[in-house]
Structure 1
Amino acid sequence: MATTRMHFSGQLSDLDLRHLRVFKTVVESGGFAAAEAELNVTGSAISQSMSDLEKRLGFKLCNRGRSGFSLTEAGRQTYDNTLELLASLDTFRSQINAIHSYLKGEFRIGITDNLITMRRMRIVHSLQSLKRQAPEVTINIRMLPPNEIEKGVLNGVFHIGMVPKFRTCPGLDYYPIYDEQWGLYCGEVHPLFSVADAELKVSDVEALDAVEAAYAQPESIREQYARFKTSAIASDREGTAFLIMTGCFVGFLPTHYAEGWVEQGVMRRLLPEEFGFVVEYVAITRPSDMNNMILTSYLEGLRVTK
């Protein structure tokens, strides 16, 4: 018997949009189980929503089972189309809000960890400005590694991201926000912790076991790490701090992040004139998102905040 191929027809309903948002979250979470916490619903509810969506569209979106979660080719195309659709809805909502002379909706931000200790709190103050100007806007912040934030801004998951500028990506606009000073540190039980600065030799410091950063960095910073004997690797600055505190390693940290431990006497910066570098932090957006009035308002606050 011949099978009748189904095609999507009829009006796009609120239920369709809810199913598409569930599908988007499942894809970005990497599967049904991980999406439960993000959506705050049961696995059976997610499974039912996905099943209803597949029936509505007329094709299979994903494979799930013992082998894990993966998208079908149709699922990958549907995910891309869903991102475009939801981004268009955000733009439409923002434009309609502008007609009513107030801002309303969700503002999604991706931020790299551990910037809260920066003395120049431009992110804090610009968020404060947005909330005061647009009290009905819902602010949604996620803390992620820089590469995931870049990807999120490019595909519309985030309206804006705050990342170190290690490279430039086509399709993104960049707005400078911070210059972050980094220094070399050891912990209080490290053999060099109590050695006077005048007695420290560069060659002795360079011979120490050091923590290397696992993420991509420009060559100028890599040259600083290359001066040491790498015997540990950390994916982020908190992991580096843990290893420094063992007293077995030296490692680079942002000075604002390490400041509290230095004041407590559990960390020490080594030869500041010799070891250190500066990382530029930027806000990133997509040029196509500049019609979003919430984003435009936030960027204005970010520019005027010192």
Structure 2
Amino acid sequence: MINRLQESDIKLLRVFYAVASCNGFTAAESVLRMQRPNISAAIKKLEDRLDLVLCHRGRGGFQMSKEGEVVFQETKRIFNSFDNFVFNLKSLHDDYSGHITLVMMAGLPLNYHLAVSQAVKSTMKKFNDIHVNIQTRLYNEVEHVALSGECHLVLSTYDMVKPESVTFHPIDVKCRGRLYCAPTHPLAKYADGIPDTVKIDDYPAIGISGLSSGNYIDGERRLSIQTFSDSYDACLSAIMTGEYMGLLPDYMLEHQGKGLGLVSIKNRQFEFNHELFVMNGKNTRLNPVLRHLIKEVAYFIQQTEK
């Protein structure tokens, strides 16, 4: 088993990263500029070094093992950190080229994704030799990736106490939401407001991992959180079983939830307004490229709200 990374291990991990990203040996040949036997030998050598089976190959095609999935995610973090290090180092020499990693919170609406695409395009036009890697993370992971150096910028809502180690750039856009249930849920008949005689904590609710607990308390009423999901999309699936109610942003009803018959409990309780931010760790050097990208992301998202 490996105890310390060597330069040769990094080369082997790059081969594995390419194979996993391309979902197969054949597709990775052109990326790595290596022939398949050499790729296979490199993967076998890495498996021996790690004492793990990373992938299965055979008649069923390429498939990563559970251990391989973990190694792939960790490898992605390593190489993102390498790219960020090189980008920041170049910035010290006023060389604004290289790879930028932008993380978006999972579950943001399509129009925000399109706005980010426009912002990235604008930035790549203004600065030569800039490449932007766009990734998604779950809500409870966004603070960590901003702090860890895995990425340069994070686009996410944030409703908790803001840590001093993270810089927040407000977009001046709020993601509004409220309490929803399925049309088959017992509370669906109270769409115009829950009577005072109905105890809301008698009905199971689903929460979002990482969301501030204050969202589930409104005056004297509190939601009875029985289980958690890791994203708004997963929360929507649980709500549609008719067994749970839960908090969802209104854009879910306009996009993912359209046509599902979701019922909003319109008594102005448990409504939320979560601000949208671009965030970065204090160790991230905000050079002209990143500042321009932040400005463009804010501009194009604001345009979608008009």
Please indicate the TM-score interval, normalised by the length of the shorter structure: 0.5 to 0.7
Number of aligned positions between the proteins? 263
Could you tell me how far apart the structure 2 residues matched to 1:128 and 1:187 are?
A: 39
Deviation at 1:223, TM superposition (A): 1.9
Could you tell me how far apart the structure 1 residues matched to 2:125 and 2:241 are?
A: 44
Could you tell me how far apart the structure 2 residues matched to 1:81 and 1:122 are?
A: 28
C-alpha spacing 1:82/1:137, structure 2 compared with 1 (3 Å): closer
Deviation at 1:186, TM superposition (A): 1.5
Deviation at 1:298, TM superposition (A): 0.8
Query: Which residues of structure 2 form unaligned runs of 5+?
Result: 26-38, 55-65, 68-73
Deviation at 1:119, TM superposition (A): 7.2
Could you tell me how far apart the structure 1 residues matched to 2:20 and 2:205 are?
A: 33
TM-score normalised per structure 1: 0.67
Residue 37 in 1 paired to residue 30 in 2? no
User: Aligned to 2:217, what secondary structure does the other structure show?
Assistant: helix
- The one-letter code matched in structure 2 to 1:185 is Y
Query: Which residues of structure 1 form unaligned runs of 5+?
Result: 1-7, 9-14, 27-31, 55-61, 70-75
Aligned residues of 1:112 and 1:144 also touching (Cα < 8 A): yes
Deviations 1:212-232 (A, max 9, x none): 224133342142497133344
Which position in structure 1 is the counterpart of 2:35?
none
- The one-letter code matched in structure 2 to 1:287 is K
Aligned residues of 1:162 and 1:281 also touching (Cα < 8 A): yes
Aligned residues of 1:262 and 1:268 also touching (Cα < 8 A): no
Aligned-CA RMSD value: 4.2
- The one-letter code matched in structure 2 to 1:45 is A
Higher deviation after alignment, 120-129 or 269-278: 120-129
Q: Which one has the largest radius of gyration?
A: 1
Which position in structure 2 is the counterpart of 1:281?
276
Residue 266 in 1 paired to residue 261 in 2? yes
TM-score normalised per structure 2: 0.67
Which position in structure 1 is the counterpart of 2:166?
172
Deviation at 1:125, TM superposition (A): 4.4
C-alpha spacing 1:272/1:264, structure 2 compared with 1 (3 Å): farther
2:148 to 151, 155, 160: 155
Aligned residues of 1:211 and 1:240 also touching (Cα < 8 A): no
Residue 108 in 1 paired to residue 108 in 2? no
Could you tell me how far apart the structure 2 residues matched to 1:141 and 1:202 are?
A: 47
Aligned residues of 2:167 and 2:280 also touching (Cα < 8 A): yes
Deviation at 1:267, TM superposition (A): 0.8
- The one-letter code matched in structure 1 to 2:262 is M
C-alpha spacing 1:253/1:266, structure 2 compared with 1 (3 Å): same
User: Aligned to 1:162, what secondary structure does the other structure show?
Assistant: strand
Which position in structure 2 is the counterpart of 1:5?
none
Deviations 1:176-222 (A, max 9, x none): 22321121111122234345626x41442614523322413334214
Deviations 1:109-154 (A, max 9, x none): 1111111246797545433432443474322111112343333332
Higher deviation after alignment, 176-185 or 254-263: 254-263
Aligned residues of 2:215 and 2:270 also touching (Cα < 8 A): no
Could you tell me how far apart the structure 2 residues matched to 1:131 and 1:125 are?
A: 10
Could you tell me how far apart the structure 1 residues matched to 2:109 and 2:191 are?
A: 32
Give identity over the alignment, percent.
16
Deviation at 1:271, TM superposition (A): 2.0
The 5-angstrom pairing of residues 42-53 of structure 1 reads: 44-46=41-43, 48=45
- The one-letter code matched in structure 2 to 1:139 is V
Deviation at 1:252, TM superposition (A): 0.9
Could you tell me how far apart the structure 1 residues matched to 2:191 and 2:157 are?
A: 33
